[in-house]
Structure 1
Amino acid sequence: MLRNTTTAYGWVAILLHWLMALTIFGMFGLGLYMVELTYYDAWYKGSLDLHKSIGILLLGLLFIRTLWRCININPDSADEHASKFELKSAHLVHLGLYLLMFTLMMSGYLISTADGRGINVFEVFTVPAIPFAVDNQEDIAGQIHEILAWALIVLAGIHGLAAIKHHFINKNNTLVRMLKVKK
């Protein structure tokens, strides 16, 4: 089952969800590692290039994921006892996750292209820089990027804890349906 149904997520949604989640947590870890490096560390440039390349690929995946979400139905809530507040909160958290991912990736793009050079993605293609920059763009975008990265990790953690709560306390299949496709 590739597409979502009213009761389950399809393989495409599940694959995109977990691929992005694991990559984002990996990128967060790489980012924490990178900020501790100095210009003279052996992996300084390599870690930056890797972070930028993966970031651009993640942005592409985010567009694909958003498109897939728009052309698919969303499964109904797995918790038939969910209050309107819970349903609205879940919707807002998902919206927040998408907005945070997009703005985080765009701030990374603005950091990387502040000097007017594009982003070389794994030596395969280059994403061009915008033809203008603002004063202190790299520093401003860097501060925003750090704040958004922490906000995304915190919100993703809340999202994960809510799924675990639904599984163990509410005893519904909210978590399970994002782990496997219903046959």
Structure 2
Amino acid sequence: MQWRNTRVRWGIVSVGLHWLMAIAVIGLFGVGLYMVDLGYMDPLRNVLPDWHRSIGVLLGAALVLRLLWRFISPPPAPVPEHTTVEHLSAHAVHWLLYGLMLAMVVSGYLISTADGRGVAVFDWFSLPAITGNVQGMEDLAGDWHRWLGWTLIILAGLHGLAALKHHFWDRDDTLRRMLCMKLRQSRSPDRQ
């Protein structure tokens, strides 16, 4: 498998970033839901939020890397069997997912720095707070973070269902290209 994307398939960097970010989004959503109900005396009360923040920052870094890589190594051409509507919808959903992930990282950062303290990332480094102690910022950013999280997970779920529809119903190569599987259609060696 090649590092860079080709005209017909995703390269290993794009595939790796896709699945790493998918796992992070699903995991962060689950941990986020679990965290809001932790009691004051729960031993995970301090650990999970720190992990959630740290992984969220790393997700933001992966998003920046993924967007840079998208310009360095452009995506493959659309699967020939896709209609124009499917192609435009997929393009819009991808950019909406990127925008939602960015908004999640920003709102999470604003929650974490509302008291003027920076965000420690696994004790490796710390992101400084760019705002001081802003009245009401934690609550407002928290509301946005919650609604953006639900929107992101629903859209990601629909994205996954669309990939399954293409694989099992349409029997095209959409999912196979992201799973590094052999393509169904015959492709000339110079195009793979």
Normalising by structure 2, we get a TM-score of 0.91
For 2:54, what is the secondary structure of its paired residue? Answer: helix
Counterpart position of 2:21: 20
Partner of 1:175, secondary structure, is: helix
**How far apart, in 2, do the equivalents of 1:163 and 1:131 lie?**
41
The list of structure 1 runs, each at least 4 consecutive aligned residues, that deviate by more than 4 angstroms after superposition, is none
Which range moves more in the overlay, 126-135 or 108-117?
126-135
| Residue of structure 1 in register with 2:125 after alignment | 125
- Structure 1 gap ranges (5+): none
In the alignment, structure 1 residue 88 sits paired with structure 2 residue 88 = yes
- Give 1:41 deviation, angstroms: 1.2
Matched residues, number: 182
Q: Shift of residue 133 of structure 1? A: 4.9
Which shows bigger deviation, 120-129 or 33-42? Answer: 33-42
In 2, the alpha carbon distance for the partners of 1:96 and 1:133 equals 31
Matches within 5 A, 1:48-63: 48-63=49-64
**What is the CA–CA distance in structure 1 between the aligned matches of 2:164 and 2:53, rounded to whole Å?**
32
Deviations 1:40-78 (A, max 9, x none): 211101111110111111111110011001111210112
Task: Report the AA paired with residue 124 of structure 2.
Answer: V
Q: Secondary structure at the match of 1:126?
A: strand
Deviation of 1:38 after TM superposition, in Å, equals 2.0
Could you tell me how far 1:92 is from its partner in structure 2?
0.6
Cα drift, residue 181 of structure 1? 6.3
**For 1:104-137, what per-residue CA distance to the aligned partner results, in whole angstroms no more than 9, with x for missing partners?**
1110000000000000111110000013354200
Distance 2:60 2:129 in 1: 15
| Mapped contact 1:8–1:181 kept (Cα < 8 A) | no
Q: Alpha-carbon deviation of 1:174?
A: 0.3
1:35-114 counterparts in 2 under 5 A? Answer: 35-78=36-79, 80-114=80-114
CA distance in 1 between partners of 2:119 and 2:144 (Å): 19
Question: SS of the counterpart of 2:23?
Answer: helix
Find the aligned partners of 1:66 and 1:49 in 2 and give their Cα distance. 26
CA contact (8 A) 1:9 1:181 kept: no
Q: How does 1:135-174 map to 2 (within 5 A)?
A: 135-174=135-174
1:176 aligned residue:
176
Structure 1 residue 156 displacement after superposition: 0.3
Distance in 2 (CA, whole Å) between partners of 1:133 and 1:145 is: 19
Identical-residue share of aligned pairs (%): 51
Structure 1: distance between partners of 2:14 and 2:126: 28
Shift of 1:86: 1.3
Alpha carbons 1:163, 1:174 under 8 Å: kept: yes
